[in-house]
Amino acid sequence: MPVRVSEFSWQQTPAAVFLSLPLRGVCVRDADVFCGESYLKVNFPPFLFEVFLYAPIDDGNSKAKIGNDMILFTLYKKEPLMWETLSMPGVDKETMQRIREKSILQAQEKAKEATEAKATAKREDQRYTLGVMMKIEEEERKKIEDMKENERKKATRELEAWKESQRQAEKQKSIPRKEKCQRGKQAEERGVPKPPSLPRKAPSAARLPQRGRNWENIFSEKLKEDSVPAPRPAGNIQISFTPRAFPTALRESQVAEEEEWLHKQAEARRALSTDLPEFSDLKEEEKNPDWLKEKGNKLFATENYLAAVDAYNLAIRLNSKIPLLYLNRAACHLKLRNLHKAIEDSSKALELLTPPVSDNANARMKAHVRRGTAFCQLELYVEGLQDYEAALKIDPSNTVVQNDAEKIRNIIQGTALKSRD
C-alpha cells in the first residue's frame, strides 16, 4: 500500500499557485509527476500524493522543480481568481475516477498532437532540404554549362583569329607574284625582248662537289621522290557483325527471354505521362525518373531515408514500370521499419522483374533478400527463409546470404524445440 502524503504548504496569487511538497530522498530519476488541468499526482514509491484542484490550470506552462528533499510546483491559473482551498471540496470516489480518466485522456491527446506536429515539422524540414539540394545542384549545373559555353566561345575566337592570320599571310605571298607578272606585261608592251633561255648543260666532273658521298645521297633521294606511287583510289569496305547470342546450347538459350525483358524496359521508359497537370510545375530534370532515382540514391547514402522515399514516390508516379524504383524504396522502408511496405515494394519489384534472365538476376536476388529480411523482422521466419533460399538459387556462391539463411534455420529449429518442451 502506498503512503499518502498529507503534509504540504501552498500559497497563491490571482495568477498562480505555489505548492511545496516535502518528500525525503526524492530525486528526478525516480519521481513520477503527472499534471492535468484539474488533477495533480506525484508517485515516489512508497509515497503517493494527489490533489483534485479547485479550478483549472494551464498544465502546459506549469513547472515542477525537484531537489533538496522537496518538490516545488508553480501552477498557472487559467482564470485570475483567488481560490478558497487547494483541492476541490466534496469530491466522491466516482468523481475522482472520472477526473483521473479525463486527465489521462487529455494528456494522451496532447502527446499525440505534439508527436504529429513534430512529424509534420520534420517532413517539412526534409522537403525543404530536398528543395535546397536540388537548387544547389541546379546552380552548379548551370555554372558548368556557362563555363563550357565560355570555353567554346573562346575556342571559336581563337580559330577565327588563326584563319584571319592565314588569310593575311596568303595575301602577302600573292602580292610579289602579282607585281612580277605586272612588270613582265609592262616590258612586253614596251617592246623589250625577253632574254634568250640558255640550254642547260650537264655539270662537268670538275664542277661536281668533292664530297661524292653527299651527292650520291641527294641523287638517291631524288630517285626515291620520283618513284613514290600515286595514292590509291578511295573505296568502301562492307563489314557484317554476327548477332549476339549466349554461349550455351540452343535448348538452354535465353535469347528470347532477354529480348522480351529489354523490350519491356524500353516500353516502360517510353511510357512517361509528364503531360498531366499535376506535373506541370516540375522542372525538366524532375520529370526524368532516372534523375529522380539517382537523387533518391544520394539521399539514401546520406541516411535521409524519408526524403529518398519522396524522390522514389515521384519517380514511380511518373513511371510505375521500373522495378529498381520499388526495390530501392523497399530498402528505405527497411531502414524506417515500415516492414509491411518493404514487403509490398519487394513483391512489386519481383512482379516486374519478369522474365527471369541474367540481366535482372542481381535485382531479383536483392528483392528476395529484402523481403526475407522484412519477414524475419516481423518474426515470420519460415517465410523469410523461403525468400533467402530463392536468393541462393539465383546466386549460390553468396556467402553473406548463406550465413543469414543458416541463422534463420537455427532460429526456426530453436523455436520448434521450445514448443515441443
Cell 524522390 belongs to residue: 311
pLDDT: which is higher, 230 or 81: 81
What confidence score (pLDDT) does residue 212 get? Answer: 47
Q: Which of 93, 94, 81, 92 is nearest to 54 (CA)?
A: 81
Written as nine digits, the cell of 386 is 523461403
CATH class, range 3-91: mainly beta
Question: For residue 39, with 0-12 CB atoms within 10 Å meaning exposed, 13-18 middle and 19 or more buried, which class applies?
Answer: buried
Average pLDDT of the residues in 40-52? 83
What's the length of the chain? 421
Written as nine digits, the cell of 315 is 519517380
Q: Are the C-beta atoms of residues 309 and 333 closer than 8 Å to each other?
A: yes
- Is the pTM value of this prediction over 0.85? no
**Hey, CA dihedral for 120, 124, 127, 133, is it positive or negative?**
negative
Written as nine digits, the cell of 289 is 525518373
Average pLDDT of the residues in 15-40? 84
Q: Which of 84, 109, 91, 15 is nearest to 50 (CA)?
A: 91
Check pLDDT > 80 for residue 262.
no
Strands 39-44 and 32-35: antiparallel
244-253, 371-380, 409-418: the lowest-pLDDT one: 244-253
Question: For residue 118, with 0-12 CB atoms within 10 Å meaning exposed, 13-18 middle and 19 or more buried, which class applies?
Answer: exposed
Phi/psi for 293 (5° steps) reads -65, -45
What confidence score (pLDDT) does residue 373 get? Answer: 94
Which CATH code for domain 287-420?
Answer: 1.25.40.10
Q: Are the C-beta atoms of residues 287 and 272 closer than 8 Å to each other?
A: yes
- CA–CA distance, 178 with 182 (Å, rounded to integer): 6
What confidence score (pLDDT) does residue 177 get? Answer: 63
* CA distances from residue 21 to 73, 86, 99, 331, 395 in whole angstroms, order as listed: 8, 13, 22, 52, 68
Instruction: List strands edge to edge, sheet with 16-22.
Output: 9-12, 16-22, 70-76, 63-66
- CA–CA distance, 75 with 12 (Å, rounded to integer): 9
Q: Tens of pLDDT along 275-305?
A: 445 555 566 667 778 888 899 999 999 999 9
Three-state secondary structure readout of 152-206 = HHHHHHHHHHHHHHHHHHHHHHHHHHHHHHHHHHHHHHHCCCCCCCCCCCCCCCC
Check pLDDT > 50 for residue 173.
yes
Q: Domain ranges in the chain?
A: 3-91, 92-174, 287-420
- pLDDT class for 5, splitting at 50, 70, 90? confident
Written as nine digits, the cell of 86 is 487547494
Instruction: List strands edge to edge, sheet with 3-4.
Output: 3-4, 47-52, 39-44, 32-35
Question: For residue 349, with 0-12 CB atoms within 10 Å meaning exposed, 13-18 middle and 19 or more buried, which class applies?
Answer: buried
Check pLDDT > 50 for residue 206.
no
What confidence score (pLDDT) does residue 211 get? Answer: 47
Distance of CA 105 to the CA centre of its chain: 41
**Hey, CA dihedral for 376, 378, 380, 386, is it positive or negative?**
negative
3-state helix, strand, coil in the chain (%, to 5): 60, 10, 30
Average pLDDT of the residues in 77-101? 83
Mean of per-residue pLDDT scores for the chain = 80
Beta bridge partners of 4: 48
Q: Tens of pLDDT along 306-338?
A: 999 999 998 888 888 889 999 999 999 999 999
